[in-house]
């Protein structure tokens, strides 16, 4: 099996404050912890599990700056055989469509005989949920998003896709295909720092646009169909009544509110 996994290095903003930069095009990165996108971590694990089961090779690909090598090193340590990072100033301002084109170009160059491409369903930062599916289209192969189970059977895969309301659909998909995985599909393994150090010997290639045969016009703002005009703090439409004070006080207030509303069973 020739397996590709596309990963992204993203900031963790679940708890941290998000501050928009003065040009309104991005957020301040200082002080934020970065790591592999949550969905991609599951995609990576699925890629490695697939290799462990059927043999073959896994190549991990990212588009991003030098710092995203952290994420690639983890991929290598967990079991990817080699990694490719694409960096080029012309990629600045790319939308999901342009990124998919760039990924497609890297894949065609680095693993043209792929059988399966794993991506995460979405990234925690921009939340587009479209790169994997777009990539499939640019490569002319089928895809499935929100994949929660994969069983490979010669030339095909039987997959589960998550639907709403706790329902799943079972599909048969022809390979090669792009499978954009949903979290929870597996249990991503731990990789130690020693493991990461050992993996330093594995190949981590850095390419630019011309290496993958793309012209600057095909990516970045020029090659994109969508343009970020500005970021802004969401207007607060409705805001909860915030109870203030020490925990005993807020708890007491809340308990009496619940009591007034008849929400405490007696």
Partner 1 sequence: METVEGESFGEKYDLFVCLQCGKCTGSCPLSMRSQLNPRKLVREALLLENEAVMDKDFLWDCTTCATCRLRCPRDLQPVEVIIGMRSILIEEAKVPSTVQEALESTFKNGNPWGRAPSKRVEWAAELSIKKASEGAEYLYYVGCTPAYDPRVQSVARSLVRLFDAAGVDFAILGNEEKCCGNEIRRMGEIGLFEMLMEDNIEMFENYGVERIVTTSPHCYNVFKNEYEGLKAEVFHYTQLLCDKLDEGKLKLTKELKKKVIYQDPCFLGKQNKVFEEPRKLLSSIPGVELLEYDREKMRSVCCEGGGGRMWAEATATGERTAEMRVKEAAALGAEVIAVACPFCLLTFEDAVKTTGYEGKIEVKDISELLIEAIEG
Partner 2 sequence: MAEVFVLVEHRRGEIRDITFEMLSGCRDVAKSLDASVTAVLLGKNVDNFVEQLKSWADKILVVEDDKLENFNAEAYQKVLSHLIKERNPVLTLIGHTSFGMDLAPALAAELGIPLATDCIGFEVKDGALIAIRQMYGGKVNARFSFKKSPYMATIRSAAFKAEELGLSAEVEKVPSPLTEEVTTKRFLEYVEAVVGEVDITQAERIVAIGRGVGDYSDEKVRSMIEELANELGAVIACSRPIVDKGWLPKDRQVGTSGKTVKPKLYLALGISGAFQHVAGMSASETIVAVNKDPKAPIFTVADYGIVDDLFKVVPALTEKIREIKGGS
Give Cα 233 distance to the centre of its chain.
24
Rounded Cα distance, 5 and 74, in Å: 13
Q: Go through the chain and tell me how many residues it has.
A: 266
Beta bridge partners of 85: 62, 206
Sorted by sequence, the CB contacts under 8 Å of residue 223 that are 6+ apart come out as 94, 97, 98, 101, 217
Q: From the list partner 2, partner 1, ligand FAD, none, which binds 252 (C-beta under 5 to 8 Å, kind-based)?
A: partner 2
Selected from 14, 225, 233, 263, the binder of ligand FAD by CB under 6 A is 14
Note whether 254 binds partner 2 by CB under 8 A: yes
Radius of gyration (Cα) for the chain, nearest Å? 22
Binding mask 3-22 for partner 1 (x = CB under 8 A): ---------x-xxxx-----
Q: Which two tokens stand for residue 157?
A: 């895969």
Q: Which two tokens stand for residue 184?
A: 């929870």
Selected from 121, 134, 148, 186, the binder of ligand FAD by CB under 6 A is 121
| Stretch touching partner 2 by CB under 8 A, among 49-57, 58-66, 136-144, 200-208 | 136-144
Cβ 68 to partner 2 shortest distance, Å: 18
Selected from 187, 229, 241, 248, the binder of partner 1 by CB under 8 A is 187
Q: Which two tokens stand for residue 151?
A: 């069983």
- How many residues contact partner 1, by CB under 8 A? 20
What is the sign of the dihedral through the CA atoms of 23, 24, 28 and 29? negative
| Stretch touching partner 2 by CB under 8 A, among 55-63, 85-93, 154-162, 191-199 | 154-162
Residues that bind ligand FAD (CB under 6 A): 14-15, 121-122, 146
Residues that bind partner 1 (CB under 8 A): 12, 14-17, 31-35, 187, 189-197
């Amino acid at each position: 099996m020739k397996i590709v996994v596309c990963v992204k290095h993203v900031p963790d903003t679940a708890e941290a404050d998000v501050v928009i930069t003065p040009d309104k095009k991005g957020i301040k990165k200082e002080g934020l912890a970065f790591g592999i996108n949550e969905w991609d971590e599951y995609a990576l694990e699925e890629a490695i599990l697939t290799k462990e089961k059927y043999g073959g090779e896994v190549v991990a690909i990212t588009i991003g700056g030098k710092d995203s090598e952290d994420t690639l090193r983890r991929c290598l340590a967990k079991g990817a055989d080699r990694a490719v990072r694409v960096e080029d100033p012309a990629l600045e301002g790319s939308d999901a469509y342009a990124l998919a084109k760039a990924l497609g170009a890297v894949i065609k160059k680095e693993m043209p005989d792929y059988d399966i491409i794993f991506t995460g369903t979405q990234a925690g930062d921009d939340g587009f949920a479209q790169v994997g599916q777009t990539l499939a289209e640019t490569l002319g192969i089928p895809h499935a998003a929100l994949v929660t189970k994969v069983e490979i059977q010669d030339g095909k895969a039987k997959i589960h896709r998550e639907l709403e309301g706790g329902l799943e659909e079972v599909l048969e998909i022809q390979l090669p295909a792009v499978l954009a995985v949903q979290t929870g599909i597996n249990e991503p393994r731990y990789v130690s720092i020693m493991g990461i150090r050992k993996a330093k010997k594995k190949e981590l290639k850095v390419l630019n646009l011309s290496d993958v045969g793309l012209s600057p016009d095909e990516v970045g703002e020029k090659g994109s169909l969508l343009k970020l005009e500005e970021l802004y703090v969401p207007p607060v439409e409705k805001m909860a009544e915030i109870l203030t004070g020490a925990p005993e006080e807020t708890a007491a207030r809340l308990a009496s509110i619940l009591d007034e509303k008849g929400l405490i069973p007696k």
